[in-house]
Amino acid sequence: MFNTTAWNRLRYSLYAPVYDLVVARAFRRARRLALDAVHWRQGQRVLLIGAGTGLDLPCLPRDVEIHAIDISPLMLARLEARADRYGLDVIASTMDAARLDYPDAHFDVVVMHLIVAVMPDPQAGLREAHRVLVEDGQLCVMDKFQSDARPAGVVRRLVNVVTSFLATDITRQARPLLEGAGFVVEHDTPVMMGTLFRALLARKA
C-alpha cells in the first residue's frame, strides 16, 4: 500500500542526511562478508543497485569499473562525495531498479544490498539484474528475509504494515524471489541478527 517508487524516493531523500549515522556501522561487517564471497577479477564492470550513500564502496576492489544507481539524487550526492574521499571513479545515475537504462549482458557483478526488501516490485528488479548480467555474471544480495521454509505469519504481516511504511518489507523470501527471476543460489550465509539478514551469491540458471 505504502511501498511505491515515489514514496521510496521521498523517504530516502529525507533519510539521506542521517542515513550513515543509522546504517554505516551496523551493517559494515555484513556488507564485507557479502562482498568477500564474490569472485573478483581485474577490470570487471560492477553495478550497485540501490547504492544509497555508497557504503559498499570501501569494500570493493580498486581495479573494477563501478556504476551506482539509486532513486534518490540526495543519496547519490553523498555517494559521489564518498567516492571522492576514497579516490574512486564511480559513474552514478538516478535510476529505478525495475527499469534499468543499460543494455543486456553489460555487467559482470550486480550488487543489491538492503534493496530487495525495499523496492515495490522485487521480482521486476531482480529480472532487470538478471538481464544486465553477462552469462557467467554474479549477483550479490544482502538483506533481511523471512525464512524460505514458510511464509510470514499473521503477526509478522501486521508488523510489516508499519515497517514497510518506514523502511522495509520483512515478509520477503530470498530463494523464491531469486529463483523466480532466473537465478541459482550458490551461497546463502546468515550475516547478522541470527538468520534474519542473509548474504546470497547467485548466478544465472
pLDDT bracket for residue 2 (50, 70, 90):
low
Which letter does DSSP use for residue 57 in this model?
Answer: G
Question: Given the C-alpha cell 545515475, which residue does it identify?
Answer: 93
List residues bridging with 1 in a β-sheet.
none
Neighbours of 129 (CB within 10 A): 28
d(CA 59, CA 46): 13
The three three-digit cell numbers of residue 41, written as one number: 577479477
pLDDT digits (tens, 9 = 90+) for 103-162: 999 999 999 999 999 999 999 999 999 999 999 999 999 999 999 998 898 999 998 888
pLDDT digits (tens, 9 = 90+) for 39-71: 999 999 999 999 999 999 999 999 999 999 999
Q: What is the model's pTM?
A: 0.95
Question: Given the C-alpha cell 544480495, which residue does it identify?
Answer: 141
Write down all domains in the chain, each with its CATH number in brackets. 5-204 (3.40.50.150)
- Total residue length of the chain: 205
